[in-house]
Structure formats: C-alpha cells, structure tokens
Structure 1
Amino acid sequence: MSDKKQVNSTFIISIIVTLLVVIWGMVSPKTFETVANSMFGFLVDKFGWFYTITMMSFVGFAVWIGFFSKYKDIRLGPQDSKPEYSFLTWFAMLFSAGMGIGLVFWGAAEPMNYFVAPLGAEPGTPEAARFAMQKSFLHWGFHPWANYAILALALALMQFRYNKPGLVSSVFIPLIGEERVNGPIGKIIDIFSIFATVAGIATSLGLGTYQINSGLKFLFNVPETVSVQLSIVIIITIIYIVSTVTGLDNGIKHLSNINVYIFTFVIIACFLIGPSIKILDTMIESTGYYLQTFIGSSLEAGAFFNKKWYGSWTIFYFAWFIAWAPFVGTFIARISKGRTIKEFIIGVLIAPSLASFIWFVIAGTMGIEQGLEFAKEAIKSTPTTLFSVLSNYTFGNIISMICVCLLVTFFVTSANSSTFVLAMFSSNGDLNPTGPKKILWGILQSGLTLALMIGTTNGLQMLQTASIAVAFPFAFIMIFAMVSIVKILKKDSI
C-alpha cells in the first residue's frame, strides 16, 4: 500500500509541477522568460567553470572505469548473465534515444555557424573550418555520452546486481541508505527527474516538428502553419504511443533499428554525393586536432574573452545534456543488462561519439565547401540549413526526403524511449511499466509540446532554458553517482 501511495504521490506531484510551469509560461510568458533566462544567466556567469570541469571528470571517469580499472570485466547483472540484445540493436536503441532530433537539426547548421563566426579566426578561412569541426566534436562527442554513461552505469548496477528500482534516486542507496532514499529526499530527486525529462523531450519534439514542417515546405511547398504542425504531432504521437505500448522487444527495438539503418544510409549517400576526398581529409585532420586540443578545449569557459559565446554554446550544451541525463541514462541502464563494464563503455561512450563525428564531418564539410556567402544565408534558418546544403548536390533533394523520414524516426524513437522512462519513474521504478501509464505520458508529452508551440511565441525555448536551470542540481547527482559506482564495485568486485 505504501508503494502505491508513493507511486501516486510522485506521479501526481510531478504532473502538477510540470503543468504549473507550462501554465506560467503561457499566462505570463515575459515573466517566465525573464526568470528562466536570469537563472540560466547566473549559472553560466558563476558556474561555467563547474560545468566544464564536471563534464571533463565524467569523461575521465568513464575511460578509467571501462578500460583501466580492475572492475571492467564485471557484468551489469549476475556474473553469468547474458545481454538481452545484440550489440547492434543495443547500440541502435541507445543512440536513437541519446542524440535524437538534435543530431539532424544541427548536423550542418552548427559547423556552418562556427565557420561564419569563429573565435580567434577570420570567417570563411581554413582556420575557421578547423574551429568549426573542433567545437562540433566537443559538443556532440565524448562529453555528452560520458555524462549519460555515468548515470546509466550506476543505475544498471543497482537494478541488475541489487534488484533496486529503476529510479534516479536509487543511485543514492549505497551512500545514504535505502530508508532515506525511500523518503522525501528520494521523492524530490525523482520528481525533478520527471520534470527534466518532460521539459527536455517537449522541447526536442517541438523543434523536430518545426524542422519536419520546414523540410516539407522546402521540398514540397507545404505551408508552415499550426494545422500542419498539429497534424505532424498527432500522427507521430500515435506511432510512438503504439510502439511504446508494444514494449522494448517489439516497437522500440524495431523502430530504433530502422532509425539507425536510415541514418547509416544517409551518411553513406551524403559521402558519395559530396566532396568525398575532402570529407576524408577533414575527418582525419579534425580528429587529430580534436584529440590534440581535447583537455584545453574541454575546460574553456571564456575566462579571458567571449564568455557570452561559451555560455551560448559550450556551457549551454553541457547543461542541456546534464538535463537529459535522467531520461537517457535511465533508458540506457534499462537495456544494458548482461554487458560487462568495458563493453558498456565501448557501446555508450566510444561508438556513438564516432557516429556523431562522422555525421558532423560529412554534413559540415558539405556545407562549408559551398563557401562563406552561402553559409551566411543558409544558417538564417536553422531548420532548413541541412536541406539547403543538400540541394546543391546531385540527388540532394532525394536525400532530403529521406532526411525528413529520418527526422520522423528520430522523433518517434526519442519520444517512445522517454515515454517508457516516464512510465518507469511514475511506477516506482518498475522496469516493465503498464500500458496505461505509457499512453498517459505519451499523450501528456505531445499535449505539452502543442500547448507551448501554439499557446506561446517562444515557449519551447523558454521551457528548454527553465529545464536547464532547474536541472543544475543533477550535476551533483552525477558526481555522487561516480562515488556510488566505486562504492558498489569495491563491495561487489570479483
């Protein structure tokens, strides 16, 4: 009975908190925007250093625990357990959840933004192109995936070796005990986890809807209207709710595989129609430069110049990925039973980072090769930047159509993964939550997305900023997660 009460209270309170924030944003958008921006501005100004050193520590810890520690051969579960999914399917599921729409949205646009306005270099020069790739690698490579890996590893150990609930609060059991975690402290952590997940996904779904609509307009002159966007959200909501209700082993697994197949096809096709030799040269040189400057660029927060730039890009991304950690980390943990820690780090840190590097090099190089003036025009509309780039290449419009399909599959896989996790969070960490909970969260996510898109002029960006600001404490939760991992493994090592 007590578990049921806890489930209901966590579930109800989290919904109330989320709805109140959204209503505030719709009723008094200027006040909401001012408060959210002020909170985030304060964090960037005073704690930029903290974000950089924290994310760097995640990378260092992940590399150590996976490749150099004596614990690397311990399995996430009983030592004789086997993985539930093949490596490729497991990778497809975690990659689809962890990067989502943002990878397509920024694949060409981000490098081109840096190419147009680089730090310490002339726009449109080779130095600007090098800077563009270095920063794109930094923002979408090892750092976000290490961030996800830390929480996912701690949760997977608790779930599969100790049979604890699939809740973020479970990370604290080795540190403060199960009784305290089951009290107000744990409940607060789990409520904020739900809010961060809902806010993060609502923002991404809204941006994805805009880009799908922009792509349809660019390719087929479909108008960018509320009715079209409403139709997109409703159709995709039906798809992802159905896939979520059918479970991990059916809908989510198969859609994730399809998503990665489409993504792989787009990468290969873009490589073949683009400046292939230039792409290979850029890949090798950019990887070398990224590794050469890795520590220094990872810790840059604008201490000497352009603090505003770092706040708008690097610190913003680091904070955003920390805000996504409760959702992505929990989902990765759920699908990782039976992996060794070494295999887990290879799959969660190394493989997806390499996939991101390849995508940004290909999409970015294809855009940068069109020149500075083209880049200036293309980045004026971020949702259509990729389509503008592809239109300059043979078969580009065909690939653009496939990219719209890719946006849809990323949209669906992000939404169904988050719906599954939200159902877990509001079911006391049940690893197989009920269908009604999944349906309810699926409808709520889409409803909030639509409310912010239709009811406000800048609602999605405001909610994104608010979620980042509110998620600041999760950085400390992640730090405690590293301590918890070591404590668990010291006690449980083979």
Structure 2
Amino acid sequence: MTVSGTSAATEDSRPPGDAPVQPDPCAPGIDRTVLGVAAAVSVLFVLWGILATDSLASVTSAALDWVASAFGWVFVLASTAFVVLSIWLALSRYGRVKLGRDDEKPEFSTVSWVAMMFSAGMGIGLMFWGAAEPLSHLGTPPRGLTEPNSQQAARVAMEYSFFHWALHPWAIYAVVGLSLAYFTFRKGRRGLISSAFFPLIGKRAEQGPGKAIDIFAIFATLFGSAVSLGLGALQINSGLTNLWDVPESTPLAIGIIAVLTVAFVVSAITGVKRGIQFLSNTNVVLAVALLFFLLVVGPTVFILNTLTASTGGYLYDLIPMSFRTGAFGGEKWMAGWTIFYWAWWISWTPFVGAFIARISRGRTIRQFVLGVVVIPSLVSFVWFSVFGGTAISLQLGGTDLSAAVAESPEAALFAVLREFPFFTVTAILVMVLVALFFVSGADAASVVMGTLSSRGNIEPKGWLVAMWGVLTGLVAAVLLLAGGLSALQSLTILAALPFLFVMVGMVVGLLRELRREPLSATMAPEIRALMIAAERPAPANSDAS
C-alpha cells in the first residue's frame, strides 16, 4: 500500500467522464450568467416591493401558509438528519480526513476561528431573541403544552430556546461548510456550491445545472442576510426609543439599514483577515463582558440552576422535539417558530457555510464538526441561560415583561436590562453589539455572493461585493415596508425551500466522494507514520564484508 503525503483528487477518483480540474481559486472573471440572472431577479423583487408593497405582502403571506403546511415535515426531517450526519462523520473513520493537504495546518487560531464563525452564524439573532424567545414561550407555551407563566412553562421555554439555537442550526451550517471545504481545499474545485455536485452530475456542475444551483444559493443568501439586517435595524431602533424616546418608525429603521449597509460593505472590502477577523474578536470580547455583567448583577443562582436543568431537559427531550411537525396540534406555532428557524438557518447556509469553509482549511473533519457544532451549541446554552434565565426570573418574580415582548420582541432585552444598574451603558453596548454582529455577518455574506457570481474567486472584486451589499440593504428595507417582522419571516421560509433540496444533493455528493478516499487518509496519524516508516528502504549496511 502506498501512503501519499497529499490527497489531491486524481482522475481515477472521479466519476466517469469527469476530467480532473485544478482551478486557481483566485482566478479573475465574472460569471455573467449567474450574476446577470441573480441581480436582475433581485432588482425586480426590490421594484415589486417599492411599487406594489401590499401585493408583495399578500403573496408572501399566502405562499408561506402553503409551504409551512405542505413542506413543514421536510424541514423537520432534513434538519434532524443533518444532526445525525454530522455526529456520524465526526465519529467515523472519515473524521480524520483533512480539509486540505494531509500536511496542511489551520490558517487561523482556534479562538479566532470560533469567534468568526459564531459572529457570522447567529450573533445578531442571539442579541434579538436571547431574552425575547424564552419570554414569548413563557407567556405562550409551545403547542399549548402547559399553563402560561408557570414553572413548567419556564422549563419548556428554555428547552425550546435551546432546541432552536443549538445542535440543529449548527449541524445545518456544518454539512454545507464541510462539503464546500472538502471539495475546494481537498479536491481542488472552485469555491462554489455547485462544486459539491461533481460526483453526481460531472461536468454539468460547471454548466447550466451548476449555474442554477449557484443562483439559488445567492437568493438564499441575499434574503437570509436581509432578514438579519431587518432584525438588527428594529432592535437598534428600539434601543434608541428606550434611551432617548426616539419614536419607533419604519423610516428610521430604513435609515439604520442604510448606515449598517455602508459599514458592512466597507468592512467586507477590507477582507477576511483584517475586517471580519477584527470585528469578530471585538464582538466576542464585548459579548462576554455583557454576559458577565448580567451574571454578576442578575439572579446568579437562578441562572446557574437554569443552565444545568435546561441542558439536561433539552438533551432528554431532544429526540421527540426533533420529530414534531404539528400534525397533532400546534401547526401554527410550529410554522411561526420551529419551521421559521430551520428555514432561517437554511437560508443562511450558503454564506455561513462558505464562510466557515473559507476559514477552516487545514482542519480535520472531526475538528470541524467539534468546532462548528459542539462549541457554538455550548455558547448558546450559556447565552440563553443568562439572558433568558434573567428574563424569566423577573417575570416569575412579579416584573411584567410579557406585554412589552408581545408588542415588540426587539424591546425585550432592553426591558430586562432596565431592571439593573447602568442601563444607559448596557443599552448602548447592546446596540453596538447588534451593529457589529450584523456587520461581521453581512460582510461575510457580501463576499460569498461575490464569490458565487465570480466563478469561485475567494477574493471577489470590490465593486461586486459592494453591489451585493447594497442589494441586501434594499431588500431588507423593502421587507420592512411590506410588513415588518412577519414579512421577514415569510420570505425566509420561501427562499429556504429550494435550497433545502440543494443541501440534500450536497450531502449525497460529499458521502459519495468520501467513500473514494484512500485508506491512508482515514488512518490515525501515528499509524500512518508507522506505515510510511515501514515502506522506506532499509539503509545499506556499510559493514557488510
């Protein structure tokens, strides 16, 4: 058996008729078909929202109802399958396969790696829903499982918050990011979603079918990013209202969107190593400071009890929660929460997956799954225990927060912080965090959309990145005009549905190609080293007579 020090794909390891390619990942050139179609449809959507806002709102609402009722089970089943797949890949012999050459080292430190993926993956969502979701479930328990505002409702509220923000979303990100990193850095393909389809459709992955896949990925990225930008604008608007009585209004939210859009376009153009890495590390420092403050001045014992009990309850109920579809009640709740979340994460996977792949070169599949699924899930447990646990403690202790949350979820975190010292400082810190989390996530999205529309170039042209950034801001503004938070949720699910089937194809392609890995690539490093030493020719015996 020959042990190779590199694992670049060869012609023998490819499907019949699939000639080996070795593209330059930084090769210049715009894919005019992908860019033209994706940009044209995006502009038409913006014009539709500006010229016929009511029509857009009614169409998206009706389409949402149809998708949630007809395909809700698909979202539930697929997201759970992604969790199982991620765990299996990490534990299997394929966990030792490097995302790159066998001797390649990671490009970023583990701390920066985790910080960047977390900021891009869900930072702004955690700021928006950290207190709002547990409070919402406390006042309106999921699927009517228990009495509102009771101890039992508090337990269910925390378990479902964990469910929506831990293993499932990060496993959804992981399967796309892993597939892209594998085909880009180990197999020498371009950094495109369509590259994962070479084992299935061969050269057609570079032709019409592959271009259609990349166009779907751009749409999902554009609308998923727009949703986050809309949520961020709403929360910053609420912070201004709480601090300085600035009236909440759609025009002000659109103005905030404009400012944030300019900020993340500038950050994106500076590149990953400078702009995104710096912002991500800054986000982590500020977020930890806010967590520590609330842990110290808040109900510390209750928070620690909540973390312990809710983690155990979540793990105990994980399997039944993972397969609930609303078939026996609670279908409306499922559509508004669980299915919305699964669709939101799926709509983010093209850019979060591509971004995670971009920063994960040189790590093994096992390291990748541990870093992308397990570590962020643990952070989510802590985050919701601190913010959600504090909010629930206040509500059960007699401070009425439910009315504020029901009227405007974006105000929940400010309502909680108002009950503790230094509200002005913490409120400003929240708004800064929301802005930075969005900038660090949206600039990654703009770069990825630029990559998808320029044949996989991981350093797309600045004007292309800026164009996609501006379109993201315009889509977010249009959605706020068309119905605020409900419109944001509706379009997320609609954009995610076609890409869900793309994800299934990516998984099939990844598994098919992994089966062709040489045995040496899946061995433990020490065994591989022994085999290499055994294959070396014995040194000549100079003392032989």
TM over 0.5: yes
**Which residue of the other structure, out of 105, 119, 130, is the alignment partner of 1:96?**
119
Q: How far, CA to CA, are the matches of 1:434 and 1:234 in structure 2?
A: 22
Could you tell me which residue of structure 2 aligns to residue 490 of structure 1? 515
Residues in 1 aligned to 2:492 and 2:304: alpha-carbon distance in whole angstroms:
38
One-letter amino acid of the counterpart of residue 432, structure 1: E
Q: Which residue of 1 aligns with 2:534?
A: none
Task: Kindly indicate whether the alpha-carbon contact (under 8 Å) linking 2:227 and 2:492 is maintained by their aligned counterparts in 1.
Answer: no
Q: State how 1:262-341 maps to structure 2 within 5 Å.
A: 262-341=286-365
**Matched residue type, 2:460:** P
CA RMSD of aligned residues (A): 1.8
* Cα drift, residue 175 of structure 1: 1.4
Structure 2 residue ranges without an equivalent (≥5): 1-26, 522-545
Correspondences of 1:116-127 after superposition (within 5 Å): 116-118=139-141, 119-127=144-152
Aligned residue number for residue 495 of structure 2: 470
Aligned equivalents of 1:362, 1:165: Cα separation in 2: 42
- Aligned-partner SS, 2:94: coil
How do 1:338-377 residues align onto structure 2 when only pairs under 5 Å count? 338-371=362-395, 374-377=400-403
Match of 2:207 in 1: 183
Q: Is the 1:167–1:424 contact (alpha carbons within 8 Å) kept by the matching residues of 2?
A: yes
Shift of 1:145: 0.5
Q: Report deviation, 1:222.
A: 3.1
Q: Determine if the alignment matches structure 1 residue 76 to structure 2 residue 93.
A: no
1:152-182 deviation line (CA, Å, top 9, x unaligned): 10010010011211111111111111x1111
C-alpha displacement of 1:480: 2.1
Q: CA deviation at 1:298?
A: 0.9
Deviations 1:118-152 (A, max 9, x none): 12211111100000001101111110100000011
Residue 409 of structure 1: how far off its partner (Å): 0.7
Q: Distance in 1 between matches of 2:209 and 2:84?
A: 29
Deviation per residue, 1:410-432 (Å, 9 max, x gap): 12111111111111111111112
Kindly state the Cα deviation for residue 405 of structure 1 after the two structures are TM-superposed: 1.1
- 1-structure distance, mates of 2:215, 2:190: 15
- Correspondences of 1:158-237 after superposition (within 5 Å): 158-177=183-202, 179-225=203-249, 228-237=252-261
Alignment partner, residue 466 of structure 2? 439
Cross-structure match for 2:18: none
Distance apart, 1:191 and its partner CA? 0.9
Percent of matched pairs sharing the same residue = 41
CA distance in 2, matches of 1:416, 1:172: 26
Asked if 2 retains the 8 angstrom alpha-carbon contact of 1:378 and 1:389, the reply is no
Deviates more, 1:86-95 or 1:23-32: 23-32
SS of match in other structure, 1:282: helix
1:391 aligns with 2:412: no
TM-score between the two structures when normalised by the length of structure 2: 0.86
Quick one: distance in 1 between partners of 2:334 and 2:490? 16
One-letter amino acid of the structure 2 residue matched with residue 354 of structure 1: L
2:230–2:488 Cα contact (<8 Å) kept: no
C-alpha contact (below 8 Å) 1:62/1:345 kept by paired residues: yes
| Cα offsets for 1:337-376 (capped at 9, x unmatched) | 0011111011100111111111111111111112256132
Within 1, Cα distance between the matches of 2:435 and 2:28? 36
| The one of 3, 15, 24 aligned to 2:39 | 15
Whether the 8 Å CA contact 1:202–1:460 is kept in 2: the answer is no
Q: Is the contact between residue 29 and residue 455 of structure 2 (CA under 8 Å) also seen in structure 1? A: no
The amino acid that maps onto 2:129 is W
Residues 4 and 257 of structure 1: CA distance in aligned 2, closer, same or farther (over 3 Å): closer
Match of 1:404 among 404, 420, 431: 431
Structure 1 stretch displaced more, 414-423 or 44-53:
44-53
Deviation string 1:189-229 (CA, Å, 9 cap, x unpaired) is 11111111111111211221121121022012234356644
**1:302 is aligned with what amino acid?**
G
DSSP-derived class of the 2:95 partner = coil
Task: Single out whichever of 37-46 and 138-147 deviates more from structure 2.
Answer: 37-46
In the aligned structure 2, how far is the partner of 1:131 from the partner of 1:467? 26
Distance 1:474 1:403 in 2: 32
- What is the CA–CA distance in structure 2 between the aligned matches of 1:416 and 1:306, rounded to whole Å? 37
The alpha-carbon deviation at position 115 of structure 1 amounts to: 0.4
Please say if residues 29 and 454 of structure 2, whose CA atoms lie closer than 8 Å, have aligned partners that are also in contact. Answer: no
Per the TM alignment, residue 39 of structure 1 is displaced from its structure 2 partner at its CA by: 2.3
Q: 3-state DSSP class of the match of 1:99?
A: helix
The structure with the larger Rg is 2
Query: Structure 1 residues 215, 9: CA separation in 2 closer, same or farther (over 3 Å shift)?
Result: same
The one-letter amino acid paired with 1:181 is A
449 and 33 in structure 1: CA distance in 2 versus 1, 3 angstrom threshold = closer
Structure-1 residue corresponding to 2:23:
none
Query: Structure 1 residue 446: deviation in Å?
Result: 2.3
Distance 2:270 2:30 in 1: 26
User: Structure 1 unaligned runs (5+)?
Assistant: none
State the alpha-carbon separation in 1 of the partners of residues 119 and 422 from structure 2. 26
**Structure 2 counterpart SS, 1:472:** helix
Match of 2:70 in 1: 46
Asked whether 1:425 is paired with 2:452, we answer yes
Structure 1 Cα separation of the partners of residues 395 and 476 of structure 2:
36
Secondary structure at 1:293 match in 2: helix
Which residue, 108, 114, 119 being the options, matches 2:137?
114
Q: 1:152 aligns with which of 177, 187, 198?
A: 177
TM-score by length of 1: 0.95
State the Cα deviation string for residues 430-455 of structure 1 (Å, max 9, x = none).
Answer: 112122222222223223333444xx
